[in-house]
Amino acid sequence: MTESRIIEAQRDDRRRLLEAGAMGVGAIALATLLGSDSLAAASAKKARAKRVVFLCQSGAPSQVDLFDHKPQLAARHGQELPASILQGERLTTMTSEQSTKPIVASPYRFERHGDCGAEISELLPYTAEVVDELCIVRSMFTEAINHDPAINLLQTGSQQPGRPSMGAWLSYGLGRDSADLPTFAVMISGGEPGDQPLNGRLWGSAFLPSHHQGVRFRGGAEPVLYLKNPPGIDTAARRRMLDTQRALNTLHQQTVGDPEIESRIAQFELAARMQQSVPELADLKREPARTFEEYGEDARTPGTFAANCLLARRMIERGVRFVQLYHRGWDHHHNLPLKLPGKCRQVDQASAALVRDLKQRGLLDETLVVWAGEFGRTVYCQGALTADDFGRDHHPRCFSIWLAGGGVRAGTTLGRTDEFSYRITDEPIHIHDLQATILALLGIDHEQLTYRSQGRDFRLTDIAGKVVDKMMY
């Protein structure tokens, strides 16, 4: 087949897709790809949420020290985890050389809070104050046992690299809601040298058109890199350059029919508009003093988790669809009694403030907030168990997360684990189930949001996932 015939066949395929899916999610996605978001209303009719803020706690917080209270373990502290619980399993190799696996009861006090009576650790006092807004899930599970594949699964639906991120899927499926800011924004905080790294593919678009990938915002004087005009180039000159570039790209697109050229044009135009919108977004001087009292003084320091939560609220107000916050440093194989309380102090106040702030502004009902790591931690000790030092290994069998707003059933706790927080005993919820539910809250059928690449249809939930109705009102 000649090149011209291939191009014409591609154009015919796009026309047939538009005609066949004029009222479905495929049409919404195609409208976004072609630069028009008018068909997104078809999905919005059944949506509970319009936007998402995903607070990803990279490194895996310990559920038994934060959300999954196991008071009976105090009597077993230091004893070997029963063989009847392990059943011969070795989930990771990091504790394979330990001759014993002593149980470590959580040293932190749990109390019931709110009208719902959910048990929350003393390490999260601010989260405890908003517990009636939360849906706490104690029965999450995953197959992944190491950080990179596990966080990849959480964010892209696959342990293997090369799939679009959740934010990219939502950008593709729902389209743009802000003319001057990206549909998908990413911010990173926390972490020290040696902590689990984060890779740009976690907010990438993979085989989706590239304008759906996340735009990373950074702390400091330049929130988005390379956004400023270079020395000697003023606004008028920049506009002339963009117009010329657009004309050349349009001519090339008409010749080869490559959708990526349309993405390139859209990205250049968005970058030009962001030159005005991003400085205003990042300028917190007009925020009243009570805002920083609510989020904490760290919110005054660009790049902190608290500052990123405040920016997330400002992005939501301005129509950003998906805001992804990563906070590194939760990988506590050793020295957990020192590291975990400090990590909680970094995120607790700001996470709760975000939920409260969105509610006060009338935005929580249409904004889904998710707080989650990639897996859990073991109830048994990794390394030597001493009075003031212990660690916990990776544990994919069960872990805890919470959700708020956006159609979530507030003031509820889903799922149970056994007395050792080792296995789920009630309402197991897989990563793909969580993803399917997030899409459902946004009005999207996870089985219908697909994109054909390399001869097959791909979706965020791969070939699995079921909507968890108990999470939703």
Categorize the per-residue pLDDT at 148 as very low, low, confident or very high, splitting at 50, 70 and 90.
very high
Q: pLDDT averaged over the chain?
A: 88
Q: Is the pLDDT of residue 457 over 90?
A: yes
Q: Is the pLDDT of residue 222 over 90?
A: no
Q: Out of 20-29, 278-287, 460-469, give the one with best mean pLDDT.
A: 460-469
Q: pLDDT at position 239, please? A: 80
- Domain at 335, CATH number: 3.40.720
Q: Has residue 102 been placed in a domain?
A: yes
Instruction: Please enumerate in sequence order all residues whose Cβ is within 8 A of that of 357, keeping only pairs 6 or more positions apart, or say none.
Output: 291, 294, 295, 313
Q: pLDDT at position 42, please? A: 47
Contact 382, 333 (CB under 8 A): yes
Contact 186, 224 (CB under 8 A): no
Q: Is the pLDDT of residue 194 over 90?
A: no
The predicted-structure confidence for 115-129, as pLDDT tens digits, reads as follows 999 999 999 999 999
258 or 130, which is more confident? 130
Residue type, position 380, single letter? Y
Q: Has residue 36 been placed in a domain?
A: no
Q: Is the pLDDT of residue 31 over 70?
A: no
Q: Has residue 349 been placed in a domain?
A: yes
The predicted-structure confidence for 308-341, as pLDDT tens digits, reads as follows 999 999 999 999 999 999 999 999 999 999 999 9
DSSP H or E run through 139: strand 134-141
Q: Is the pLDDT of residue 10 over 50?
A: no
The predicted-structure confidence for 342-365, as pLDDT tens digits, reads as follows 999 999 999 999 999 999 999 999
Q: pLDDT at position 98, please? A: 78
Q: Has residue 359 been placed in a domain?
A: yes
Give me the mean pLDDT over the 458-463 stretch: 96
310 or 230, which is more confident? 310
Residue type, position 443, single letter? G
Domain span at 249: 46-471
Q: Is 260 helix (H, G, I), strand (E, B) or coil?
A: helix
Q: pLDDT at position 361, please? A: 97
Residue type, position 128, single letter? A
338 or 257, which is more confident? 338
Q: Has residue 311 been placed in a domain?
A: yes
Distance of alpha carbon 421 from alpha carbon 309, whole angstroms: 30
Q: Is 212 helix (H, G, I), strand (E, B) or coil?
A: helix
Number of Cβ within a 10 Å radius of residue 460: 28
Q: Is the pLDDT of residue 396 over 80?
A: yes
Q: pLDDT at position 29, please? A: 41
Q: pLDDT at position 45, please? A: 57
Give me the mean pLDDT over the 1-29 stretch: 41
Give me the mean pLDDT over the 406-430 stretch: 97
Tokens 């059943």 correspond to what residue? 87
Q: Is the pLDDT of residue 183 over 90?
A: yes
Categorize the per-residue pLDDT at 37 as very low, low, confident or very high, splitting at 50, 70 and 90.
very low
Q: pLDDT at position 107, please? A: 95
Q: pLDDT at position 44, please? A: 52
Give me the mean pLDDT over the 468-472 stretch: 96
Give the angle 166-202-57 at the CA atoms, nearest 5°.
90
Q: Has residue 218 been placed in a domain?
A: yes
DSSP string for 65-76:
GTT---GGGGGG
Q: pLDDT at position 231, please? A: 85
Q: pLDDT at position 43, please? A: 52
Q: Has residue 157 been placed in a domain?
A: yes
Residue-level length of the chain: 473
Closest CA to 55 of 413, 377, 310, 361: 310
How many structural domains does the chain have? 1
Q: pLDDT at position 71, please? A: 96
Query: Long-range contacts of range 289-298, CB-CB < 8 Å, 24 or more positions apart?
Result: 291/357, 294/353, 294/356, 294/357, 295/349, 295/350, 295/353, 295/354, 295/357, 296/349, 296/350, 296/353, 298/346, 298/350
Q: Is the pLDDT of residue 7 over 90?
A: no
Q: pLDDT at position 4, please? A: 41
Q: pLDDT at position 468, please? A: 97
Q: pLDDT at position 246, please? A: 79
Q: Is the pLDDT of residue 33 over 70?
A: no
DSSP H or E run through 259: helix 259-282
Give me the mean pLDDT over the 367-383 stretch: 96
Categorize the per-residue pLDDT at 384 as very low, low, confident or very high, splitting at 50, 70 and 90.
confident
Q: pLDDT at position 19, please? A: 37
Q: pLDDT at position 386, please? A: 84
Give me the mean pLDDT over the 408-428 stretch: 97
Give me the mean pLDDT over the 367-375 stretch: 98
Q: Has residue 411 been placed in a domain?
A: yes
Provide the token pair at 44: 């919005």
Q: pLDDT at position 6, please? A: 38
Q: Is the pLDDT of residue 237 over 50?
A: yes
The predicted-structure confidence for 41-71, as pLDDT tens digits, reads as follows 445 558 999 999 999 999 999 999 999 999 9
DSSP state of 304: S
